[in-house]
C-alpha cells in the first residue's frame, strides 16, 4: 500500500507497510499526526504480548492466555515474558531460587512506608517504596550493563510483593511479616499479608491457585497506559525501579488499574439486582460510567474477564463467602450486554469487572485491589522495560503538539494591565 501527498504541485509517496505509516515518512512529506491518547499510534515494536481486540485474543509470546492461566505459575510466565521462551525445569528451578533470594527489602524502605498515615492509599506507599529502591541499588542506573539489568529485574520481581504486603500491614497497624523461603511466590505474598499469630500462614490451595491465575492474567497487556508510562520514563535512560514507579502511578488512575476498586464501589452503590435497570439508565444518560466495562482494544469480551468470572465462582465456593454483589454483577452484565447503548459502542466486561469480587472474598480491602494489579503487572513492566532499553530503534519519547495558544505578544507592565 502507498499514500501520496501532493502539496503545491509537488507529490511525495508515503509507504504504508501492512497499513502502518512511519512518522519519518510523514515528516518527509511535511506531514505529522494529531492522535489524542495515542488511540491509533504505535510507539514501539514489541514481541511480548499480542492482542486481537475483535476476536478477544490475548497471547504472551504466542501462548494463549487460557493455556497459561490453566497450567503455568506466575514466575514461569514472568520468565516467558522476559526471555521469550517457557523455562526448562532446570531454568525454572534456578529462576525460582534467584527470586527467593532477593525477597527481603532494606529496612529503610520499611521506614518510608511507616512514615505514611495509616489511611494513606497503599498505591502511594507502593509507588514511593519502589521508586526508593534505586537508592539502595545504584548499579541499576547502568542500564547498558546486561548483568546489572538482569540483577535488578530479579530484585524488582522479588521485592514487589514484600513492599505491597508491608503497605497493607502498615494500614492495619500490624507487625511486618518477613518473606518465608519455605513458601512459593503467591503463598509467601499471602503469608506476608495475612499472617497473625500462627507460626506459618498456609493459605487454602484453592485460594493460592485463584490468586496465581489472577497474577498470570494481569501480568502484561501490551502498550496499556501504565506500560506506556514505564517505556516513556525508560526512554530517558532510567533504571527499572524508577520506570516501574512511574507505571504504578499510571495504574493508580480510576480509568486504568483503579477500576477494580471502582467496580466494587459501583456494585455497592447499586445494592441489589432490581436496581440495575435504574443504574444502567443513569449510565446511558451520561450520569455514571459502567466501571469494569469497555476497553481501548477489546471490542469483544475480554478473555481475562471470562477466566476471572469462573475463578470468582470457585473462590466464593472455596471461601464459603456468599456475596450478594455477585448477583448484582451478573445482572449488570446481562442487562448491559443486551442494551443497544453498550452493543453499539462494543462495550464488554473487562479484566476489572469481576476481579474485585474475588479480592473481597479473599478479605482484601478495596484500596488494596489496584495493588493486587500492580504486583503481577510488574513482570510485564520489567519485560517491556528490558525490550525498550535494548531496542536500537528507540529514542527518548518526546511527542509533538498542535499549538493553539497566542503568538508573539508584547509584555504589558503591571500598571498597564486591565484592573490595575
**What residue ranges bind ligand SDX (CB under 6 A)?**
221, 224, 255-256, 259, 283, 289-297, 345, 347, 350-352
- Backbone φ and ψ for 280, nearest 5 degrees, come out as -60, -40
Q: What is the dihedral of CA 357, 363, 368, 369, to 10 degrees?
A: -20
In sequence order, what are the residues at sequence separation of 6 or more whose Cβ sits closer than 8 angstroms to the Cβ of residue 181? 100, 103
Beta carbon nearer to ligand SDX, 33 or 108:
33
| Alpha-carbon 83 to chain mean position | 20
Question: Which residue's Cβ has the minimum distance to ligand SDX?
Answer: 294
At 40, list the grid cell. 491509533
Closest approach of ligand SDX to the CB of residue 75, in Å: 19
Beta carbon nearer to ligand SDX, 87 or 257:
257
Beta carbon nearer to ligand SDX, 53 or 273:
53
Closest approach of ligand SDX to the CB of residue 360, in Å: 17
Active site residue 406: no
Q: Which residues pair with 57 in a beta bridge?
A: 52
As a whole number of angstroms, the distance between CA 69 and CA 304 comes to: 9
Beta carbon nearer to ligand SDX, 59 or 150:
59
CA atoms within 13 A on the CB side of 34: 4
Beta carbon nearer to ligand SDX, 235 or 350:
350
Closest approach of ligand SDX to the CB of residue 215, in Å: 13
Question: Considering 102, 106, 256, 314, which one is annotated as catalytic?
Answer: 256
200 within 8 A of 182, measured Cβ to Cβ: yes
Closest approach of ligand SDX to the CB of residue 333, in Å: 12
- Backbone φ and ψ for 2, nearest 5 degrees, come out as -150, 140
Closest approach of ligand SDX to the CB of residue 412, in Å: 40
Question: Considering 187, 220, 295, 302, which one is annotated as catalytic?
Answer: 295
Active site residue 295: yes
Helix (H, G, I), strand (E, B) or coil at 59: strand
Active site residue 218: no
Beta carbon nearer to ligand SDX, 134 or 283:
283
Closest approach of ligand SDX to the CB of residue 266, in Å: 10
As a whole number of angstroms, the distance between CA 186 and CA 177 comes to: 14
Helix (H) or strand (E) holding 192: helix 185-194
102, 109, 141, 139: which is closest to 125 by C-alpha?
109
Which residue has 502511578 as its cell numbers?
A: 249
As a whole number of angstroms, the distance between CA 69 and CA 410 comes to: 63
At 174, list the grid cell. 500490624
| Alpha-carbon 326 to chain mean position | 24
Beta carbon nearer to ligand SDX, 23 or 254:
254
Closest approach of ligand SDX to the CB of residue 366, in Å: 15
At 156, list the grid cell. 524488582
Which residue has 449510565 as its cell numbers?
A: 283
At 349, list the grid cell. 466486561
69, 74, 42, 72: which is closest to 58 by C-alpha?
69
Active-site positions read 256, 295, 352
Amino acid at each position: 500500500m502507498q499514500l501520496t501527498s501532493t502539496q503545491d504541485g509537488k507529490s511525495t509517496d508515503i509507504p504504508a507497510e501492512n497499513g502502518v505509516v512511519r512518522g519519518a515518512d510523514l515528516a518527509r512529506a511535511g506531514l505529522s499526526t494529531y492522535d489524542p491518547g495515542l488511540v491509533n499510534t504505535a510507539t514501539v515494536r514489541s514481541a511480548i504480548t499480542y492482542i486481537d481486540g475483535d476476536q478477544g485474543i490475548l497471547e504472551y509470546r504466542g501462548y494463549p492466555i487460557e493455556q497459561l492461566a490453566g497450567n503455568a505459575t506466575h514466575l514461569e510466565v514472568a520468565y516467558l515474558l522476559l526471555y521469550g521462551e517457557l523455562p526448562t525445569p532446570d531454568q525454572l528451578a534456578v529462576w525460582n531460587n534467584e527470586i527467593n533470594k532477593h525477597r527481603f527489602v532494606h529496612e529503610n524502605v520499611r521506614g518510608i512506608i511507616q512514615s505514611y498515615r495509616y489511611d494513606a492509599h497503599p498505591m502511594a506507599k507502593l509507588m514511593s517504596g519502589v521508586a526508593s529502591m534505586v537508592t539502595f541499588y545504584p548499579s541499576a542506573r547502568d542500564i547498558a550493563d546486561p548483568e546489572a539489568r538482569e540483577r535488578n529485574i530479579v530484585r524488582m520481581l522479588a521485592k514487589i510483593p514484600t513492599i505491597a504486603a508491608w503497605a497493607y500491614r502498615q494500614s492495619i497497624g500490624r507487625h511486618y511479616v518477613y518473606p518465608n523461603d519455605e513458601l512459593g511466590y503467591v503463598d509467601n505474598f499471602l503469608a506476608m499479608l495475612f499472617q497473625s499469630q500462627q507460626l506459618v500462614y498456609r493459605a487454602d490451595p484453592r485460594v493460592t491457585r485463584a490468586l496465581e491465575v489472577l497474577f498470570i492474567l494481569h501480568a502484561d497487556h501490551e502498550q496499556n497506559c501504565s506500560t506506556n508510562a514505564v517505556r516513556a520514563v525508560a526512554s530517558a535512560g532510567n533504571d527499572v525501579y524508577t520506570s516501574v514507579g512511574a507505571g504504578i502511578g499510571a495504574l493508580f488512575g480510576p480509568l486504568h488499574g483503579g477500576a477494580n476498586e471502582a467496580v466494587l464501589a459501583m456494585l455497592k452503590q447499586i445494592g441489589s439486582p432490581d436496581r440495575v435497570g435504574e443504574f444502567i439508565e443513569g449510565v446511558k444518560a451520561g450520569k455514571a460510567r459502567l466501571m469494569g466495562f469497555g476497553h481501548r482494544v477489546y471490542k469483544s469480551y475480554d478473555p481475562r474477564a471470562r477466566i476471572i468470572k469462573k475463578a470468582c465462582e470457585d473462590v466464593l465456593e472455596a471461601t464459603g463467602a456468599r456475596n450478594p454483589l455477585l448477583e448484582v454483577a451478573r445482572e449488570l452484565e446481562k442487562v448491559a450486554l443486551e442494551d443497544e447503548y453498550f452493543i453499539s459502542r462494543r462495550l464488554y466486561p473487562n479484566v476489572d469487572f469481576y476481579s474485585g469480587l474475588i479480592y473481597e472474598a479473599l478479605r482484601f480491602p478495596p484500596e488494596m485491589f489496584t495493588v493486587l494489579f500492580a504486583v503481577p503487572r510488574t513482570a510485564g513492566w520489567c519485560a517491556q522495560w528490558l525490550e525498550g532499553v535494548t531496542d536500537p530503534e528507540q529514542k527518548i519519547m518526546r511527542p509533538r503538539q498542535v499549538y493553539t495558544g497566542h503568538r508573539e505578544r508584547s509584555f504589558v507592565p503591571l500598571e498597564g494591565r486591565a484592573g490595575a
